[in-house]
Structure 1
Amino acid sequence: MMKKQFTVLFSLLVIAVSASAQKEYKLSKSSGQLNLKVAGAIVEGYNGNEIIFSLPKAKNEAVDERAKGLRVINGSGFVDNTGLGLDISEKGNEINVNAVSKDMDGILSIKVPQNVKVSFVNQSNIYQDEIILKNLKSEIEVSTSYNKIKLENNSGPMNVKSLYGSVDAVFSEAIKGPVSIVSVYGHVDVSLPVGVKANVELSTSYGKLYAADELKIAINKPASKETTGAGFGLAVYGGRGADEIKGKINGGGADLILKSNYEKVYLRVK
């Protein structure tokens, strides 16, 4: 009996310590559009009615006694009104999030209700962290210069553009809307369920296109008369001037556009 009580108390203590190790800011919002202008973040969809922003507390976070009663501001006019180094404001149905301090302490995590659209913009060539977007069922729009982007188990329409960062995406469900993933100087690597239905377009100017044989793409306009094996269950369609493929997977469905100008495009089975 004593051992069981000790286990319960220990579990509660672990939960309490874990909670205290996070700094949080909550916004009561279950719909609308979340506009993020930060260096990077982990954004996760969930079944709730609040947008929850959190940062890990530093183990030995120094307290600036001189700054007591003051707020962090920057030259753009943003003010830390969250305690997380973020300026959050609402305008109509939009929630605008701007970083007051570009170099944030720790990885910003955001939990988003499923009816909230997500827009992420970062054109900084100095301040950039990985962007992870997962379990989102609403629309996604991303425009970055240097961030690495990971998309995990999202199903809504999305428009993702990266200049120098790579994009890796895994779809576990059917694609519910048009999906466009483009990287100019980075690779694009996408995994799909074998039974997915899609109208697919793959293209590259200076790289190569790879696709898993299991997807059985019915090509509308063959990019090349030759197809060579690439190993690991992938087939390569390529060659000079053969840089675009349009076709259907399982009879067609939602539009799926994957492009990389200077790197490779991979389309594989999950």
Structure 2
Amino acid sequence: MSSVTRTAPMLSDGKMFPVTIFVLIANAVASKVLAAFAEHGPVAALVGGLGLSWAFWLSFALCIRLALIEEDRAPRPRDLWVCGACLLAALIPISQVSALACTALALVLLLDRTRGVALKAAAWILLAISVQLLWSRLTMLLFVGPIAALDAHLVSLLTQTPVQGNTVQFADGARGGMSILGACTSVQNASVALMLFVAIVRTFRPAPVRSEIYLLIGLFLSVVVINVVRLALMAQSMAMFRLVHGDVGGGVTNGIITADALLWAVISVRREIFD
């Protein structure tokens, strides 16, 4: 019998999977947290969500909570190998590797029909977190040009100013223009909202239902509208750009997108909450 198999009686998957999830996510975001402390100081870093967002940290906490309430049982040898591989991935000092391992672990848990509803719910949140950490950013790397250009043209429809590629002219006629970069696109902002939606809904209703698809589409479109309005305000003038794009404006925007995601989530699980 291998040493991994002999270790099984000492463990339970009710402890093993939460620890693995925690280590993977912590390693995936550690560089952002440290950079936030170094750049802004402790107080500003905490207020700003430690380099991410408070929607992310709430989703993280709900994911771990659901994994912890899964019924304990002796892990199978393949569970030990899966968690061992994920922990080895966490040792690699590249955040994207841990985020990729989050995706792999989530899919393994979701495809395993023997898993309980709580752990599968945690796996859905883990998958949404990995989309926000890795896949939305990879999408931006591959398609940032057309996505940013689409946002720019939508902004141009509101401001009635010329647009070229991903650059919109300021409405006050100032020289130059506002270039829309990857971090300001609707896709990047929508990934945060979708992650929070999944976290809240899976907490109150562990098993997915078909109606969630329509609500997710509605949430995505609402975030696009919010982001385009924000960009249109920024495109009014350089002074407005600095205000909306600064810490205060960014905080307000994040708050609006978070509230939007919470609203759609509450609509989805209103019966579970209020009945």
Larger RCO, structures 1/2 (Cα 8 Å, 6+ apart):
2
> Above 0.5 in TM-score?
no
Task: Tell me the TM-score normalised to structure 1 length.
Answer: 0.30
Name the one with the larger strand percent: 1
Task: Tell me the TM-score normalised to structure 2 length.
Answer: 0.29
